[in-house]
């Protein structure tokens, strides 16, 4: 039997209001460091081409979430179900890919999530705290100015995109060290963006 799940509107509109400045700052730093075109070729490139701020009707999302169902006989860990009229509608991995444009690929063979951070990582070179906040990451990113810092700008830009769109965008939220470590392997991280951010998306939607 399907059971309705209570929901709250949350801070959707406040988050949308911050997107235009975030997009402008992101483009400015990536251009300054000579990696804007490279960023556009990555998994988040399509977002820079969208008109900012991305306008979403908050009440539309709210009314959809009010109709979220618990379907024990059908629901999986990677799915959400909604009651629309007399029909049930699913939001799962396929729908997530279509909406976000992110990949849902397989991590490279032999890849393991890194718990330890190397001396060459951006975490070691830019931050004293092993779990820097989103606010500190953004401030550090905005100080990058040279083409020689292009790789670091690309990595920080990816982390900021994850924080902006997938549930870690509170200024004081600490970034897990293994996430910072993972971005050092760009190929693996681009796959991770599809696989891990999907699991985070229901709490944001």
How does pLDDT run across 91-100, given as a tens digit for each residue?
A: 887 787 777 7
Does residue 64 or residue 196 have the better pLDDT?
Answer: 64
CA dihedral angle for residue 129, residue 133, residue 135, residue 140, rounded to 10 degrees: 40
Q: How does DSSP classify residue 33?
A: T
Q: Kindly state the percentage of the chain with pLDDT values over 70.
A: 61
Q: Is residue 204 exposed (0-12), middle (13-18) or buried (19+ Cβ within 10 Å)?
A: middle
Q: What residues make up the domain containing 12?
A: 3-204
Does 133 have pLDDT greater than 70? Answer: yes
In this structure, are residues 193 and 102 in contact, taking their beta carbons and an 8 Å threshold?
A: yes
| C-alpha–C-alpha distance, residues 157 and 18, integer Å | 16
pLDDT category at 204 given cuts 50, 70, 90 is very low
Helix runs in 41-176, H state only: 45-48, 58-65, 93-100, 122-126, 134-142, 150-165
Number of domains in the chain: 1
Residue showing tokens 């696989």: 195
d(CA 49, CA 54): 11
Pick from 59, 42, 48: which is nearest to 20 by CA?
48
**Token pair for 169:** 């965008």
Is a pLDDT exceeding 80 seen at residue 201?
no
> Which residues on neighbouring strands pair with residue 87, listed in sequence order?
84
pLDDT at 167 over 80: no
């Amino acid at each position: 039997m399907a059971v309705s799940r209570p929901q709250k509107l949350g801070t959707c509109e406040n988050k949308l209001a911050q997107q235009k400045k975030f997009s402008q700052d992101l483009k400015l730093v990536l251009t300054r460091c000579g990696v804007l075109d490279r960023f556009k070729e990555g998994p988040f490139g399509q977002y820079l081409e969208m008109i900012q701020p991305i306008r979403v009707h908050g009440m539309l999302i709210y009314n959809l979430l009010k109709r979220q169902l618990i379907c024990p006989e059908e629901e999986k860990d990677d799915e959400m179900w909604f009651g629309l009229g007399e029909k049930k509608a699913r939001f799962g991995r396929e729908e997530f890919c279509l909406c976000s444009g992110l990949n849902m690929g397989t991590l490279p063979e032999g890849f393991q999530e890194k718990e330890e951070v190397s001396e060459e990582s951006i975490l070691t070179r830019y931050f004293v705290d092993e779990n820097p906040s989103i606010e500190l990451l953004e401030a550090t990113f905005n100080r990058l100015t040279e083409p020689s810092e292009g790789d670091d700008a690309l990595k920080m830009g990816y982390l900021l995109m994850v924080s902006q769109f997938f549930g870690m965008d509170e200024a004081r939220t600490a970034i897990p060290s293994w996430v910072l470590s993972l971005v050092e392997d760009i190929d693996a991280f681009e796959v991770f963006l599809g696989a891990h951010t999907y699991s985070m998306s229901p709490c944001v939607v």
